[in-house]
Structure 1
Amino acid sequence: MDNTFSVYKIDDRSLIAFIKREIHNLALQLGFSPHRAAETDIIVAELTSNLIKYASGGELLYRAHFNDDHNEIEIYCLDKGQGIENTAKIMNDGYSTSNTLGQGVGAIKRLSNDFQIYSIKGWGTVQYIKICDKSDFLIPLPTNELNFSALSVNYPGEKVCGDGYYVKQTKRGFQIFVGDGLGHGVHAQEAVQQAIKVFKQSGDSDPCAILRGIHDQVKKTRGLVATIASADYKSEHWSLCGIGNINTRIHNGLENKTYTPYNGIIGHNIPRTLNNTLVPYQKHQIIVMHSDGLRTRWNLNDLTSIIKQNPSVIAATLYKDNVRGTDDATVLVGKII
C-alpha cells in the first residue's frame, strides 16, 4: 500500500455494498477488530447513501495508513450537490431533512477519530474522516510549526502513482518536496520515488543544490519535474526552487503569490543557473503545492472561510474543483501554526 487514494464515483446504490465490503476487508487487514470494522461499515454506508440521496452522486476517496502507534483509514467524500446551509446543525442526532431518524452525520462524527466537514450552499460538500483501529485513539497535534495534508490519486486505470511528495524536518526547520514523474504508471513512479530517496538522504539546506543532486541521480529514469520549499525558522525565510510545472503558492491572509519554476526536466536537462526564491516565513501562512493533474486557475479567496479549515479539507476542496482526470494528481497543503 502506498500514499495514494483509491477513487470511486458513487452514482448508483448498487456500488455501496461493493465499496463497504472492500473497505471492511481493508480494515481487517489493518488489524481492526470485527467490532471496529463494523463501525467502519456504518460510516461508509452513511457517506455513500447520503451522496445518492442528497447530492445525486459524488466521489469517495480512501486509503490505508500504517503508523508506529496506530493504523488508520482515511476517507474523503466529495460532492457538487446543493450544499448544506448549517453544518453544525446536521451533526446533532435527531436532525433530519428527509423524515428519517436523523442519525447519519452524527453517527459518522461519533464513530470517527477525526471528522471535518465544509460546505457552501449551491457548491457542494467536502467531508474528511479518519478511522483508527482504536476508537478512543486521540489524533496527536502537530509537533512542529507545519500542519500539512496531501492527497494523491492515480491516473485513471493505473495501479501506481507517478506523483510523489515528502516532508522532512531539518536542523533549521523543514523541507517539502513535490514531484511528478513524466507520464504516468510504473516508470513515472520509479523516477519520482528515486528523487524522493535522494531528497530524504540529502543534508543540504539549499533547494537548488538538492535539485542538482536529484538530477544527477535520476538520469537513468524517465525524469520528472519537482519543487522544493525549505523553511528556515532562524532566518524566517522560505527558500523555493522548482524545475517544471509544479504549481506553488503561499497565502498570507487575503494575499497570495504563485512562484514560477524553471523550465526543464530533472534527469534530462536543467538550467545551468538555478537560484532560490526567498520569501518571508510567517505564522498563519498557507502553502499549496500541486502537480499538473489539477488546473491552476483557482483562488482560495473565492471560497467562504476556506482558510479557516484544516489542510485536509483545503486539499480536498482544491481537488474537487480542479482535478483534470487525465493524469496523476497530487495536492499538498501546509499551514504554519
Structure 2
Amino acid sequence: MGPHLAIPVVEPNQVGEARRAAARLTHELGFDEATCGRAALVVTELGTNLARHAKGGVMLLGCTTNGKGRILEIISTDQGPGMADVRQSMVDGYSTGGSPGTGLGAVRRLAADFHVFSVPATGTVIVARVGAAADTAGVADHQAFSVGGICLSAPGETVCGDNWSVRLHGNKAQVMVADGLGHGPQAAEASQAARQVFETAAGPPHAILVRAHGLMRSTRGAAVAIAELDATTGSLLFAGAGNIAGRIISGVDDRSLMSQNGTLGVQVRKLADTPYAWPAHAIVVLHSDGITTRWNFDDAKGVLQQDPVLIAAWLLRGNRRGRDDATVVVVRRAWEQFR
C-alpha cells in the first residue's frame, strides 16, 4: 500500500515510459516472465488508448497485496471524451478511432481483475490488476469489507508525505489516513510514524491517536484520522486531528465526518470518538487535503457501485489540487454480503 506512480500519457512516446515503469515494478514484485508479459501488454493497450483517444490521460501504477499475494495495479484515467456505451466498447472489433478495436477486450482477458467506468463528455477510469492474487484484490478473507486506496506524491517529489493503512478484525475494520506537514522526506517520516503506531496499537480510534501524538513528537507532525467500521451493527466511530476529510455517501445522503483542529506530534486538544450510522450500501471515503473538499458524485452516481480503487481514482481524476501529496481511501462492505 505504498504510493502509486503517476505517469502522464498524452503522447505515444509516453506509452513506453509507462511500460518501462511497469517492468521495473513487476521485477520488484518477483513476477514470473508470463505475468510480466501480461502486465506489459495491459499497460501498452491502455496507454495507447490514452494517447490516441483521450484528453489529459494519466496512468497510475502501484504495488499492493491482499494477504494472498502481490498485485500490480494499473489504472488509466482521463478527462474525456468518455464512452457512450461501455459494453459495446469492450467488444472486439468495435472502434471509434479507426484502430482494430481489440484494446479493452484484450485488457479484460489479460488482467486477473478488471473494472471500467465512464461518463460521456466527462472521462473514463479503468482499473486492471495483474498477479496470481489479483482476482480477489481488495476483499478480505472473511468477505466483510472491500478496501482500496491511492496515494500520490506531490509533483517533483520522490517520496510521499501521505500514508494510509487498514486493519481488519472479523466484522470490524479500522482505516487510517495520515498527512505529514508539508511534503518530502520529513513529511513522509511523520506519516510513516503515524502508520507504525496505528498498525501496532490497540483500542478505539481516539486512543490510538493519543498514543501516536506522544510518539510523534520527534517528527514535524501530521494530520491523522481513523475510522472504525462495524459491518454487523452498521456503525462507525471516527476521530481525527487536522485536515483529513471523511464522508459517508449512500447515493441519497452525504454526511461529513468531523475532525478537530490540531496536529499529532505538535499540538492537539482532547481527542474523542464520534459515532455515526453506516447505511448498508454506503461507502466511506477518507482523503488528505491534496483533494478538494467540494467534490460530489452528482454527475456520476453509478460510480458508487464500482470497485473502491476505481472510486478513489475517479475522485483523484477530477479533484486533485496538483501541488501536494494526495491520498484517497474508500471502504465498503464486500459484495458477497448482498448476494
Instruction: Answer whether TM exceeds 0.5 for this pair.
Output: yes
Question: 2:337: which partner in 1?
Answer: none
1:314 aligns with 2:308: no
For each residue in 1:12-51, what CA deviation from the matched residue of structure 2 results, as whole angstroms up to 9, or x when unmatched?
2122223222312432332333333222222111111111
Counterpart of 2:12 in structure 1 is 13
Equivalent AA in structure 1 for residue 296 of structure 2: N
**CA distance, structure 2, for counterparts of residue 35 and residue 64 of structure 1:** 18
Contact 2:147-2:330 at 8 Å conserved across structures:
yes
Q: CA shift at 1:144, angstroms? A: 3.8
Distance in 2, Cα, partners of 1:27 & 1:155: 24
1:302 maps to what in 2?
299
C-alpha contact 1:254 1:301 (8 A) present in aligned 2: no
Please point out which of 221, 226, 229 is paired with 1:231. Answer: 229
Give the Cα–Cα distance (whole angstroms) in 2 for the partners of residues 158 and 120 of structure 1: 32
Question: SS in structure 2 opposite 1:183?
Answer: coil
Query: Quick check: 1:291 aligned with 2:293?
Result: no
The answer to whether the aligner puts 1:208 opposite 2:206 as a matched pair is yes
Contact 1:282 1:336 in 2 (8 A): no
1:330 alignment partner in structure 2: 327
Alpha-carbon shift at residue 286 of structure 1 (Å): 0.6
Distance change (3 Å), C-alpha of 1:120 and 1:170:
same
1:1-337 equivalence runs, <5 A: 3-65=2-64, 69-132=68-131, 134=132, 138-139=135-136, 141-142=139-140, 143-170=142-169, 173-205=172-204, 207-232=205-230, 236-271=234-269, 273-337=270-334
Letter in 2 for 1:162: G
Report the residue type matching 2:69 in the other structure. H
Looking at structure 2, the residues matched to 108 and 319 of structure 1 have their Cα atoms a distance apart, in angstroms, of: 22
Q: Is the 8 A contact 1:59 1:77 kept in 2?
A: yes
Q: Equivalents in 2 of 1:309, 1:171: separation in Å?
A: 23
Percent pairwise identity? 33
Cα RMSD of the aligned pairs, angstroms, is 1.9
Q: 1:56 to 1:276 in 2, by over 3 A?
A: closer
Structure 1 CA distance for aligned equivalents of residues 134 and 4 of structure 2: 23
Q: Secondary structure at the match of 2:311?
A: helix
TM-superposed CA distance for 1:212, in Å, is 1.1
Alignment partner of 2:301: what SS?
coil
**C-alpha distance 210-120 of structure 1, shift in aligned 2 (>3 A):** same
- Say if 2:38 and 2:130, in contact at 8 Å, map to a contact too: no
Measured after TM superposition, the shift of residue 254 of structure 1 is 1.1
Distance 1:22 1:318 in 2: 24
Question: Structure 2: which amino acid aligns with 1:267?
Answer: G
Stretch deviating more after TM superposition (19-28 or 183-192)? 19-28
* Aligned amino acid, residue 7 of structure 1: A
Moved more, 71-80 or 21-30: 21-30
1 CA distance for matches of 2:277 and 2:63? 36
Q: Distance in 2 between matches of 1:187 and 1:138?
A: 36
Cα 1:150–1:260 change in 2 (3 A) is same
Q: Does the C-alpha gap of structure 1 residues 116 and 235 become closer, same or farther in structure 2, counting only changes over 3 Å? A: closer
- In structure 2, relative to structure 1, the CA distance for the partners of 1:57 and 1:269 (3 Å cut) is closer
Q: CA deviation at 1:67?
A: 6.2
Conservation of the 8 A alpha-carbon contact between 2:144 and 2:231: no
Counterpart contact for 1:120–1:304, Cα < 8 Å: no
Cα distance, 1:128 vs. partner?
0.6
CA shift for structure 1 position 57: 4.3
Cα contact 1:195–1:214 (8 A) shared by 2: yes
Give the SS at the match of 2:121: coil
Q: Secondary structure at the match of 2:105?
A: helix
